[in-house]
Amino acid sequence: DAYKKNWNECRKMAPATANVENIDENTFFSQMIDYFVKKYKTNRDKVFAIGTSGGGHMVYKLAMTMPEKFKAMTAIVANLPVESNMDCIEKKMPMSLMIINGTDDQTNPYYGGISAKNKGLVRSTEDTFRYWATLGGYQGESKMEVLPDLNTTDGSTIEKYTYSQKNKPEVVLLKVIHGEHNYPKDIDVYLESWSFFKRQIRK
C-alpha cells in the first residue's frame, strides 16, 4: 500500500505525499531484504520484485536505483517517465525485466503521454521496453509470438516480445491488445512472472 497509498517513485510531477515528502523507499526496501535474510535465511541472490500500476513504477525505481539487490522484476501497467519527468538518478545497469501493459490503458497510456492523476508524462511502452533491452546489450528485433487466447470473451489477446541470449538479462514485453488498466484474463500474471523469475535463476 506504500506511504499513504502511494510510493515515492521516479515521476517528478507526482503530487502524492510520498513524493512531496521524499520518502526514502530505497532504505525501506534494503532493510526489508535484510529482515528476510536474517529471519528467514533468504538468499540475497534470489530476490525479485513485482508491482502493478504505482507499484510498477516503484519496480522501475528499484531497477534504476538499486538493481544490484534484485535478480529480476515484473512491472505491470506502468511505463517509465520521460526524461523531463524523471526524478531518479539512473545507474543504467542491465536488469532481467518483464513488462505487462494493455494497449487501451487510459491510466498508463500504452503509447505514452500524461499518466493519470496529473503525475506527468510517461514514455510509451515500446520505448520503456527498448530502454531495458538496450541496457541489456540487445540490438535488432525481439522474438515475437502470439500467446493462446484462453479467454475469448474479454476481447483481448497477448503478443509476447522477448530478448534473450546466454549471459544477458532476459527482457520481455507482454503486449495486451485491447487490454486496459487491469490484469489480462488469458494469463495469470503472477504465475507468468514466477516462470520468468525461475528462468533467471537457471541462468
What is the number of residues in the chain?
Answer: 203
d(CA 72, CA 80): 17
Helix, strand, coil shares of the chain, percent, nearest 5, are 35, 20, 45
pLDDT in tens, 4-54: 999 999 999 999 999 999 999 999 999 999 999 999 999 999 999 999 999
Would you say the C-alpha torsion 116, 58, 193, 133 has a positive or negative sign?
Answer: positive
Check whether 203 has a pLDDT greater than 80.
no
pTM above 0.75, yes or no: yes
**CB neighbours of 148 closer than 8 A, spacing ≥ 6?**
186
Do residues 172 and 160 touch, judged by C-beta distance below 8 A?
yes
Name 106's bridge partners: none
Where residue 81 falls among pLDDT bands split at 50, 70, 90?
A: very high
